[in-house]
Amino acid sequence: MPLQLLRVIVLLFHAWVGWRLLPALAPFPVAQALLAGVLAASALLMPLGLRAPRGVSPRLANALVWLGLLCMGLFSSLFVLTLVRDLVLLAAAALPVAGAEHAALRLWSALAVPALGLLATLWGFLNARRTAAVVRVDVPIAGLPAALHGFTVAQISDVHVGPTIRRDYLSRIVARVNSLNADMVAITGDLVDGKVPELAAHVAPLAQLASRHGSYFVTGNHEYYSGAPAWMAELQRLGVRVLLNEHVVLRHGGAPLVVAGVADFNAHHFEPSHRSDPQAALAGAPAQAGVVKLLLAHQPRSAEAAAEAGFDLQLSGHTHGGQFWPWNLLVPLQQPYTAGLHRLRALWIYTSRGTGYWGPPKRFGAPSEITHLRLVPAPQRRA
């Protein structure tokens, strides 16, 4: 989208919020002036969160990006809460109450919108910037070989190293993953938002990941915005195995475990040779009964093809669990699974809420996670 068009759209949205709230705040001129100033600053800064200004120092550009993204998070809440307020006022207008009560509702709801928006943004900022908590999940696998009982996978996803997530943030994630002593590490895409020359130093901590069987990566859609082939080469250099519609066979206690990975669901739009193909990822894999097959696929939408291919478990991300309310309510319109463990016929799908965040440094109602998955035998059915 052209920058000028983006600025016009942002300005119109801000003007609408101001139109709905500022007149009602006339009895509180200080609050009215503060909100007007916040909306004006946000309208100017928000576009800079998506497109850093040129011709300024890197430090100033980074500061403006931070401010723009913070404004984006705040304005998102202001916009949604203003819509909610309008619905409340519309419903109240149908009630047989005195005009003074309607006036009081308009005033106090106009004060509540920025107060709640600011609170949600501050709380969301703290949630986004903390190191992701560990979420432990047991996955019951029918016919799981005894040697694989308790096999563990540490999954990170959607870190989005870029303008506001840098080396120290990723280093904390790596340290927490290593503390899990997992049997393998899975990185299910959207690791970066930027080119290799810009971010290589900030992704370097991935070389310190430690597990019994190593670390494995599949591309997400954001890798294709950032130069996927170059990032695949960089991750291989760091010792992270990239799985592009292919698999490896791990031997754990004498039992084989197939770990396969596919390119992002939409990768072929950017690299035609990267078309996501779970069937191809299994080509040549051990076919005997009892072999557990694990698929790494960035988007949950790969689940149908993964089930048809015969996988037992798919690990995905992409959704961020919606990242912050109310967008978590809209994710099911585009993805079959928003977060957590789900079943599709014989296939288990685990969708991570993501380990970092994209865009606004804000997580509200959808906390980030480092997932510690453990394979356990499925309970046997009684005759």
pLDDT tens digits along 89-112: 998 888 776 667 888 999 999 999
Contact, 323 vs 362, CB < 8 A?
A: yes
Q: How far apart are CA 261 and CA 247, in angstroms?
A: 6
Is residue 93 located within the same domain as residue 155? no
**Same-domain check for residues 25 and 8:** yes
Q: What are phi and psi of 373, to 5 degrees?
A: -95, 140
Residue 290: what pLDDT?
79
**Does residue 139 register a pLDDT over 80?**
yes
Nearest of 106, 238, 234 to residue 185 by alpha carbon: 238
pLDDT at 341 over 60: yes
The number of folded domains in the chain is: 2
What pLDDT, on the 0 to 100 scale, is given for residue 133? 97
Pair 295, 148 in one domain:
yes
**Residue 174 sits in the same domain as residue 190:** yes
Identify the domain boundary among 64, 97, 129: 129
pLDDT at 93: 83
Which pLDDT band holds residue 173 (cuts at 50, 70, 90)?
A: very high
Is the CB of residue 21 less than 8 Å from the CB of residue 114?
yes
DSSP one-letter code for 53? P
Q: Starting at the earlier edge strand, list the strands of the sheet with 340-344.
A: 246-252, 255-261, 292-296, 313-316, 347-351, 340-344
**Do 254 and 105 lie in a common domain?**
no
Q: What is the pLDDT of residues 36-51, one digit of tens each?
A: 999 999 999 998 887 7
Sign (positive or negative) of CA dihedral 277, 283, 182, 147: positive
Dihedral sign for Cα 285, 287, 288, 293, please: positive
What is the C-alpha separation between 273 and 244, in angstroms, rounded? 10
Cβ neighbours, 10 Å, residue 251: 10
Both tokens of 170, joined, read 């990723």
In a domain, 382, yes or no: no
Q: What is the mean pLDDT of the chain?
A: 94
User: Containing domain of residue 72, as a range?
Assistant: 3-129
CATH code, 212: 3.60.21.10
Q: Are residues 79 and 152 in the same domain?
A: no
Same domain, 205 and 105: no
Q: Same structural domain for residues 205 and 319?
A: yes
Q: Which of 71-80, 121-130, 166-175, 325-334 has the lowest mean pLDDT?
A: 325-334
Answer left, alpha or beta for residue 360, where phi above 0 means left and psi between -120 and 50 means alpha.
Answer: beta
181 phi-psi bin (left φ>0, alpha ψ -120 to 50, beta other): left
Question: CB of 328 within 8 A of CB of 322?
Answer: yes
If asked whether residues 161 and 287 sit together in one domain, one would say yes
Whether 383 has a pLDDT exceeding 60, the answer reads no
- Give CA separation, 62 vs 54, 68, 163, 207, 226, in Å: 11, 10, 7, 26, 18
In a domain, 272, yes or no: yes
For residue 132, the SS3 value is coil
Element (H, E) at 93: helix 58-93
Is the same domain home to 307 and 277?
yes
How many DSSP H helices and E strands does the chain contain? Answer: 10, 12
The pLDDT of residue 97 is: 67
Q: What is the pTM of this model?
A: 0.93
What is d(CA 291, CA 311) in angstroms, rounded to the nearest whole number?
A: 10
Specify if 363 maps to a domain: yes
- 148 and 375 Cβ atoms separated by less than 8 Å: yes
Q: How confident is the model at residue 367 (pLDDT cuts 50, 70, 90)?
A: very high
Query: Do 315 and 170 fall within a single domain?
Result: yes
